[in-house]
Structure 1
Amino acid sequence: MARCFTAYTCRGLFERHKLLFSFQMCAKILEAASKINMDEYNFFLRGGVVLDRENQMDNPCSGWLGDVAWDNITELEKLTNFHGIITSFEQYPRDWNIWYTAAQPETAPLPGEWDNACNELQRMLLVRSLRPDRVSFCATSFIINNLGSKFTEPPVLDMQQVVEDSTTRTPLIFVLSPGVDPTSSLIQLSESSGMAQRFYSLSLGQGQAPIATRMIKQGVREGNWVFLANCHLSLSWMPQLDKLVEQLQVEDPHPEFRLWLSSSPHPDFPISILQTGIKMTTEPPKGLKANMKRLYNLITEPQFQRCTKQDKYRKLLFSLCFFHSVLLERRKFLMLGWNIAYEFNDSDFEVSESILSIYLDEYEETPWEALKYLIAGISYGGHVTDDWDRRLLMTYVSDLFQDQVLSVPFYKVSSVPTYYVPKDGPLSSYKEYVSMLPNVDPPEAFGQHPNADIQSQIQETRMLFNTLLSLQPQISAASGGESREDKVLDLAANIFKQIPENIDYDNTAKILSVDPSPLNVVLLQEEIRRSLTDLEKGIQGLVVMTVELENIFQCIFDGNVPPSWLRAYPSLKPLAAWTRDLVQRVEQFEKWALTAHPPTIFWMSGFTFPTGFLTAVLQTSARMNSVSVDSLSWEFSVMTVDDSNITGPPKDGVYIKGLFLQGAGWEKKNSILVEANPMQLVCLMPTIHFKPVENKKKVAKGMYMAPCYYYPNRAGGMGRPSFVVAVELKAGEKSPDHWVKRGTALLMSLDY
């Protein structure tokens, strides 16, 4: 029964949610059979929240184990079956390091007695604590070991079976995802089912509602298949469609009538239609190989032969297929891939293929600049709204559309030797080459570092936990004694204790008159103290628990920051890290207010609007040097000495500390970008001197322009951009283009 239920449900789930569904079902079955320790399972979902690190045991492995991982271990020690875990790290640091750096720690033996002492869930807690990038692999094994492998291998969508499972009263709904159109497969199904003559389709949009109504009523009488595509483009008509579907439940339609619908996910799509219907998801193939295979299948033999410059066309068509597939698949790296996830589609490819064919025929010399501009600048570039994404797009097109593609035999299109322009031949030979490409793409195929895969797996794990937490019942008592209320009161008291008393607002306002935005932080900590006091009273029954207090309660219990607290400045940090960050921000301004002197080295990440701070520095320099502020720009020097050796502020400009480098490592001695070490997702940059200079020339050769972002969401949010300033860094032995493909950037704050 569980297997049938899974197969039925998975038809309507996107690929990324299928594992989530199976895991939730597995956990619920084990919980009902009392085969799972709920304290341990709750830790698996939430991790360890440490707000006050003052009383925390020292980390014996600080050289390789991060603060967040150690927080998890110290909280894990409090669970009955993990007493002594801290001692184990003190006794066997080398063994734990070997386990931590293993490629597959979930299957590697645990140090000391822990290998025999831990059951499967307890092993998962250690993986969750130390190597969150491997959680989804653990979850898959957990499902296989408890329910069987069938629950991790959802069946392929069989549309014939879907028709047999449906009735005349059941709408059949395709949930669309970018780049996929189910129309062709539906037409094929109608032909194989003998319904080709009675298949009617309509793409919804303005003015199509009366036609759609007529088609449904006619279909009900005559037994037609009616397909209404893109329902999300006709949301105003959805209430009428809802009524028509309601009528089907009481009417007696022709036994062969079927209503097919397609829509992108939208909150305004009627719930009742979703509940009545059978839902199916359509997703594009994943991976470079699958995408290139699909693109070559779009090319017909006459189309392949039509260009007169066959030798050029065939090679550049391969470049175009690889280019299109790389742009689509880069999205899996999230912020290291694109700042904004663009929906490139087959139309972009088809238009670019036509441009390629026409321009090669028209010109004797290959018009590289025109091709690059029309393909990357217009066809694909029309989607791209972010300047740094456009730089990436132009970097790829410059690599794939150049003389060497034509002149160098087996020209490598990436640093991985497997990917190259194959030997010239017929269309079938290119299809054969593509079919031999690896099924799993190495990150290097995109110009990425292996760490980029780890980063995206950690994000996948966060999504898994956030969704699982949202599915947890909102009950008052947690198993094992401590109630939800007690836990929240304890955490709230901890936050209250850490946030400083109100500082001198008026005095601070005078000192910060140049850039008053930091005062938002001062006001925020007052608001937090007030809401925590109200929450405590609400839990004790002294005041009414409002909706906002309920939300604050739930967020604190789950270890997240309440949305009302995020109004002052955007952040992706969980509650514990966010609280420490807020305390540091307040302390910086409190010290500034007390001494009436700005700090020698600024922690720019502590400013709510760092762009305002940088503008103020430029204005100060312009006044000091009697020049126009518009003629000033920045020059950057990364310091090679420690902060303790910087005794005073620079003559001009400011020293900035606390920036993190993502997508690369930093060699302090030579002040150059280098490859990051394995598992090193970010590294703390040394202090940088931001110096205003007049009439600066263009970027020097061998310099990489690293965009600096306020927080890891590079696209920005809450109505404000994340980009702050572009910082010049020495590219080192690699070219600047190498770091463009790596997605290398500076971050002012992290998400942990």
Structure 2
Amino acid sequence: MASFEKYPRDWKLWFTSAEPEKAPMPGDWENSCNELQRMLIVRSLRPDRVLFCATTFIVNYLGPRFVEPPVLDMRAVVDESTCTTPLVFVLSPGVDPTGALLQLAETTGMSKLFHALSLGQGQAPIAKKMIEEGVKKGHWVFLANCHLSLSWMPELDKLVEQLEVQKPHADFRLWLSSSPHPDFPINILQAGIKMTTEPPKGVRANMKRLYHLVTEAQFTRCAKPVFYRKLLFSLCFFHSILLERKKFLQLGWNIIYGFNNSDFEVSENLLSLYLNEYEQIPWDALKYLIAEVNYGGHVTDDWDRRLLTTYINDYFCEAAVTEPYFKLSTLATYYIPHDGPLSSYKDFINMLPTHEHPDLFGQHPNADIASQIAETRSLFDTLLSLQPQVTSASAAGAGPSREDKVRPSPPASWDKSEPNVLPKTSLFLDPSPLDVVLLQEIQRYNALLSMIKSSLVELEKGIKGLVVMSSSLEETFNCMYDARVPPLWEKAYPSLKPLAAWTRDLCQRVLQFSRWAEQAQPPNLFWLSGFTFPNGFLTAVLQSAARQNKVTVSVDTLSWDFTVSSLEESHIQNPPKDGVYVRGLYLEGAAWDKKATCLVEAEPMQMVCPIPAINFKPVENRKKMAKSEGVFVPTSSFVIAVELKSGNVNPDHWIKRGAALLMSLDS
């Protein structure tokens, strides 16, 4: 602390630097810290840079080969294997090993003896017959997507075991591919050779890979060659953006999708076909088939589909074929190059930057920081899971054991979270829709608190040896030792918080409903995140509005109008005339301008921004807001879409930003 007080300006410069792990540290810290200690300081103040520190540390002490992925030499894998060794491809999103395997079969002279089958419903008997024939005749048998036929995996396990006894043909090879799955037979993994390849990282690398798939004959086959070549470049860029956007995690996609080469190849064929068939380019048909049908076939989330449509509208338009050097991004280096031969497009792609700024995807620079912090958490979660689960007295030394660390924490930390949440009897007489919600929430929280107390009492007995430690108690024990919330406690409502923050959050949730029950009237401000079922609360507000209306109104005809309050939450003394005030929401991917009452860009390194209380007002037969007035992109745990003013930028700007209102944070 003394150093922070003595050199506040220097520490701020270090904290805000782009690469703090390389920047000189203030005061005596630069000379007094070794590399590991410097990494600990970076971990505490700039967790987004930990992976870079760890990479440098590994290179310096172990060598670069431990951080550089090896090139997969499939010919060497075949030479290393035997006829009884299964060869297993562990699939990554966007990677299909079939093409590489076919090419290997060609070069080794096994193409005529190569048999492939994609597993699924009803394919098991065919797969078994292929293996039996392959064992006798020396075939290469490739069973793809084993994770789609998990019920047949035990039988496949037996077939692999029998290979040792059967003594198959020397040329026989059994190739398997599967996404990681806990039910995949462990014996096959232990007996086999495991391989995995990841798709190339970066828009530039992905575009290079796609252009290698395009032959010279394809490149010159279209009747409108100039239009085709320009739109082909747009299509490659579109495909690469979709693949790379997943690095931004929840700011990229609500759900990660496995877009692959097949999507690109089908879209390229459609592009050539429609340009040949029509005099005028049918933009709407092309965009619909590519974005909605082809790529959209993977997409199961409506908000992700909206993002897909936003991108296709940017890249497939009249200006893309008529305007020279049409810009594909706000960055100056990304545009459709001057028309030329296939080699000229490849040369242009080679000149693109290897490091890609988040603006390329329409993202804020903070999005990079958010994804790096998530990767750091994943790294430490993995390291934590590798820690020894049993600590002997000699290994622990003079320090406390795992049991000693966990045992005193339950009574000390949980007494506060067990208030007496008892509803007043007046609430039962003629309950309003909001009273019903209150009673349901109290019932759920009472059940949760009772379950937490009983599991802690049992855990205390288990640690003392008075009862047998069941698997659920063991799991609770390990979670508490690692400061994680036990899965048994998480069932009441979703949360990403660690144990200490989750405990404080639970206390606040219980306090909201206990005060509401004591006062027997709704509060002025509702903390929406405090509800275990927030949709039930919002429906109750609509029901109350429908009952208050003199004319009978159906709840189905009501929708929401949203007004962000200009007052501080502490200054709101009364409920709104219509609807309710909702507090405790956070903006991610954007910030809020209180004066202009619209979305604005977030400050550097500001991951989330609290938004003032919002008046959720039920209205009848309300027309949808014009697109220019604002948008809302929800998280994967979708509750409700809130329309906010987009300010002086197009709403598509915030769609690409992945702007979202969060009900709860992960800390």
TM-score range, shorter chain: over 0.9
Post-superposition offset of 1:88: 3.5
Q: Deviations over 1:350-383 (max 9, x none)?
A: 2222222222233322222222222212122222
Residue 518 of structure 1: SS of its match in structure 2?
Answer: helix
Counterpart among 256, 260, 279 of residue 175 in structure 2 = 260
The answer to whether 1:630 aligns with 2:556 is yes
Counterpart among 233, 241, 245 of residue 330 in structure 1 = 245
Q: How does 1:135-214 map to 2 (within 5 A)?
A: 135-196=50-111, 198-205=113-120, 208-209=123-124, 212-214=127-129
Inter-partner Cα distance in structure 2 for 1:568 and 1:357: 53
Inter-partner Cα distance in structure 2 for 1:194 and 1:347: 26
Contact 1:171 1:259 in 2 (8 A): yes
Q: From the superposition, tell whether residues 726 and 183 of structure 1 become closer, same or farther in structure 2 (CA, over 3 Å).
A: closer
2:193 maps to amino acid = I
Q: Deviations over 1:388-444 (max 9, x none)?
A: 111111111111111211222111111111111111122222222222222232211
What's the counterpart of residue 492 of structure 1?
A: 410
What's the counterpart of residue 513 of structure 1?
A: 435
Q: How does 1:710-749 map to 2 (within 5 A)?
A: 714-715=635-636, 722-749=637-664
Q: From the superposition, tell whether residues 483 and 435 of structure 1 become closer, same or farther in structure 2 (CA, over 3 Å).
A: same
2:489 maps to amino acid = W
2:502 maps to amino acid = W
Q: From the superposition, tell whether residues 197 and 666 of structure 1 become closer, same or farther in structure 2 (CA, over 3 Å).
A: same
Q: From the superposition, tell whether residues 297 and 503 of structure 1 become closer, same or farther in structure 2 (CA, over 3 Å).
A: same
224-233 vs 644-653, which deviates more?
224-233
Residue 177 of structure 2: SS of its match in structure 1?
Answer: strand
Counterpart among 321, 324, 328 of residue 409 in structure 1 = 324
Contact 1:639 1:687 in 2 (8 A): yes
Post-superposition offset of 1:675: 1.0
Contact 1:502 1:526 in 2 (8 A): no
322-331 vs 475-484, which deviates more?
475-484
Post-superposition offset of 1:706: 1.2
Q: From the superposition, tell whether residues 155 and 533 of structure 1 become closer, same or farther in structure 2 (CA, over 3 Å).
A: same
Counterpart among 102, 119, 132 of residue 17 in structure 2 = 102
What's the counterpart of residue 699 of structure 1?
A: 625
Count of aligned residue pairs for this structure pair: 656
Post-superposition offset of 1:630: 3.0
Post-superposition offset of 1:538: 2.4
The answer to whether 1:437 aligns with 2:352 is yes
2:456 maps to amino acid = L
Q: From the superposition, tell whether residues 498 and 107 of structure 1 become closer, same or farther in structure 2 (CA, over 3 Å).
A: farther
Q: From the superposition, tell whether residues 411 and 193 of structure 1 become closer, same or farther in structure 2 (CA, over 3 Å).
A: same
Inter-partner Cα distance in structure 2 for 1:630 and 1:229: 47
What's the counterpart of residue 568 of structure 1?
A: 492
723-732 vs 262-271, which deviates more?
262-271
Contact 1:508 1:593 in 2 (8 A): no
Post-superposition offset of 1:749: 0.3
Residue 364 of structure 2: SS of its match in structure 1?
Answer: coil
Inter-partner Cα distance in structure 2 for 1:550 and 1:154: 37
Post-superposition offset of 1:214: 4.9
RMSD value, Cα: 2.3
Counterpart among 475, 481, 486 of residue 390 in structure 2 = 475
Post-superposition offset of 1:685: 0.6
Return the TM-score normalized by structure 1.
0.83
Q: From the superposition, tell whether residues 205 and 687 of structure 1 become closer, same or farther in structure 2 (CA, over 3 Å).
A: closer
Inter-partner Cα distance in structure 1 for 2:7 and 2:441: 45
1:683 maps to amino acid = C
The answer to whether 1:502 aligns with 2:428 is no
Q: From the superposition, tell whether residues 574 and 254 of structure 1 become closer, same or farther in structure 2 (CA, over 3 Å).
A: same
Q: Percent identity?
A: 64
What's the counterpart of residue 42 of structure 1?
A: none
Inter-partner Cα distance in structure 2 for 1:480 and 1:645: 54
Q: From the superposition, tell whether residues 646 and 183 of structure 1 become closer, same or farther in structure 2 (CA, over 3 Å).
A: closer
Q: From the superposition, tell whether residues 113 and 540 of structure 1 become closer, same or farther in structure 2 (CA, over 3 Å).
A: farther
Post-superposition offset of 1:559: 0.8
Counterpart among 519, 522, 525 of residue 595 in structure 1 = 519
Q: Deviations over 1:45-104 (max 9, x none)?
A: xxxxxxxxxxxxxxxxxxxxxxxxxxxxxxxxxxxxxxxxx4443444333322222212
657-666 vs 257-266, which deviates more?
257-266
What's the counterpart of residue 304 of structure 1?
A: 219
Q: Deviations over 1:226-284 (max 9, x none)?
A: 43333334444433433332233245444444333222323332211111111111332
Post-superposition offset of 1:635: 1.6
Q: Deviations over 1:669-720 (max 9, x none)?
A: 2112111111111011111122222222221353222145xxxxx32xxxxx
Return the TM-score normalized by structure 2.
0.93
The answer to whether 1:582 aligns with 2:509 is no
What's the counterpart of residue 688 of structure 1?
A: 614
Post-superposition offset of 1:561: 0.3
2:410 maps to amino acid = A
Contact 2:633 2:655 in 1 (8 A): no
Inter-partner Cα distance in structure 2 for 1:357 and 1:410: 21
Contact 1:313 1:360 in 2 (8 A): yes
Unaligned runs of 5+ in 2: none
Inter-partner Cα distance in structure 1 for 2:246 and 2:324: 30
676-685 vs 433-442, which deviates more?
433-442
Inter-partner Cα distance in structure 1 for 2:97 and 2:533: 46
What's the counterpart of residue 12 of structure 1?
A: none
Post-superposition offset of 1:107: 2.5
What's the counterpart of residue 483 of structure 2?
A: 559
Inter-partner Cα distance in structure 1 for 2:136 and 2:480: 57
Contact 1:521 1:582 in 2 (8 A): no
Contact 1:476 1:485 in 2 (8 A): no
The answer to whether 1:227 aligns with 2:142 is yes
Counterpart among 361, 373, 389 of residue 446 in structure 1 = 361
The answer to whether 1:673 aligns with 2:599 is yes
What's the counterpart of residue 587 of structure 2?
A: 661
Contact 1:707 1:724 in 2 (8 A): no
Q: Deviations over 1:325-372 (max 9, x none)?
A: 111211111111111112222222222222222222333222222222
What's the counterpart of residue 474 of structure 2?
A: 550
Contact 2:423 2:518 in 1 (8 A): no
335-344 vs 639-648, which deviates more?
639-648
Inter-partner Cα distance in structure 1 for 2:584 and 2:14: 30
Post-superposition offset of 1:660: 0.1
Q: From the superposition, tell whether residues 283 and 589 of structure 1 become closer, same or farther in structure 2 (CA, over 3 Å).
A: same
Residue 178 of structure 1: SS of its match in structure 2?
Answer: coil
What's the counterpart of residue 349 of structure 1?
A: 264
Inter-partner Cα distance in structure 1 for 2:247 and 2:410: 37
Q: From the superposition, tell whether residues 539 and 163 of structure 1 become closer, same or farther in structure 2 (CA, over 3 Å).
A: same
Post-superposition offset of 1:553: 1.0
Residue 498 of structure 1: SS of its match in structure 2?
Answer: coil
1:426 maps to amino acid = P
Q: From the superposition, tell whether residues 381 and 508 of structure 1 become closer, same or farther in structure 2 (CA, over 3 Å).
A: farther
Post-superposition offset of 1:743: 0.5
Contact 1:410 1:420 in 2 (8 A): yes
